[in-house]
Amino acid sequence: MNEGDIIVRIAAKGDGVTASGVHVKGAVPGDSVLADGTVESGPHRVSPPCQHSERCGGCQLQHADEETLRDFVTARVLNAAQGQGIEPEHLLPTHLSPPRSRRRATLHAMRTQKGAVVGFREGRAHTIVDLAQCEVLHPELVSLIPSLRSLIAEHGGRGGMDIGMALSDQGVDLSLTNMPVEGLAATEALLDFTRDHRLARLSVDHGFGPEPVWEPEPVTVSLSGIAVPMPVGAFLQATVDAEARMVEDATDWLSGAGKMVDLFSGLGTFTLGLREGRKTLGAEADHAAHLAAKSAAARTGGQVFAMHRDLFRNPLQPAELNNFEAALLDPPRAGAKAQTAQIAESALAHVVYVSCNPLSWSRDAATLAKAGFRLAKLRPVGQFRWSTHVELVSLFVR
């Protein structure tokens, strides 16, 4: 390494990279790397707001300032497009979710000889970081951690546990995996916990799927003004602000389109958001999510319809797609290779593609580009703040 090498960018996994291509853990652009490997702080390094930042795998970039975070998210998305020879006509400002805004997470826990540990796993390891604070999660979720630690210390079983947490309209929806509920004392402790913390729902999974053991009223999540039934473990956008930003973009970009199809529609985040002034169809493979979306659709006055369909194995064909004026896709991380190929063969002229994986998105974007689509608009989204996980919303026009 040369004396005084400067970090010029952050790599996909969070390491700083010098102009000569050397990766340096924990470095940010502007830092100097000396010949002995010592890193001298540059203008873009800040003090991490969380005491667990160096160990916790929930965050990788708390030592980077706001400008660096924004540049990192932007570069990840833009580089993915350019790697396929695609340039966006309009690169919109990157959206970053603020601290303490994440409304869903899966924590890990384990009973120990001294009590219990509850938190995220250590970066690139299986060790659980026992959280004393968290600057990413919504405070309502963080407030449960001390009581969860006490509950598990008293009644937890052997081996690790997973704790699913999400904010619903009624409060916190909590799911415990591998939590033995044996005997009257454990049962009473669990019910006392739910009442004391006014949980919206508590589910326990003994290996056969989560089963609600406490749900005073049906749990819902509001999407574009409609309360949608919320299945246990249902997918939600990580933050409310990022969801609103992406729904607003999609609504704005497709304002002139008539009938719409929302592919990989989930609970109807975008289907419901796009319903005004048009009819929309949401197609989803997960049965529980489909039934929830179908229930919500019934309250839209005939604007929204729900279809149960596995789009990986049975994508909508061109003849079906041609019944619509525009399409929106929000697939899992694997992307939508089969469905994108059918869109390329259809007569659709407007496609909004929402993605949580720039690499699979860029592969599908190349398929659309070969079919005559241009990338008209692109907005990078960083709703997993301080993480290397990056998302985006894009508009393709034929």
Phi/psi at 292 (nearest 5 deg)?
-65, -45
Instruction: Evaluate the CA torsion angle 160, 186, 171, 101 in order and state its sign.
Output: negative
356 catalytic? Reply is yes
Instruction: Return d(Cα 168, Cα 190) in angstroms, integer.
Output: 20
Q: Which of 331, 319, 291 is nearest to 307 (CA)?
A: 291
Q: Which of 161, 164, 182 is nearest to 111 (CA)?
A: 161
Instruction: Return d(Cα 31, Cα 232) in angstroms, integer.
Output: 45
Contact 336, 263 (CB under 8 A): yes
Burial label, 47 (beta-carbon count in 10 A; 0-12, 13-18, 19+): exposed
Contact 68, 44 (CB under 8 A): yes
Which of 50, 56, 59, 356 is catalytic? The answer is: 356
Decide: helix, strand or coil at residue 165.
strand
**The one-letter amino acid at 258:** G
Give the count of beta carbons closer than 10 Å to the beta carbon of residue 167. Answer: 19
Q: Which of 204, 199, 203, 202 is nearest to 178 (CA)?
A: 204
Contact 349, 47 (CB under 8 A): no
CA 203 to chain centre: 22
Ramachandran region, residue 26 (left: φ > 0; alpha: ψ -120 to 50; beta: rest) = left
**The one-letter amino acid at 334:** A
Q: Which residue has the tokens 């869903």?
A: 104
Q: Which of 185, 284, 178 is nearest to 235 (CA)?
A: 284
Q: Which residues are catalytic?
A: 356
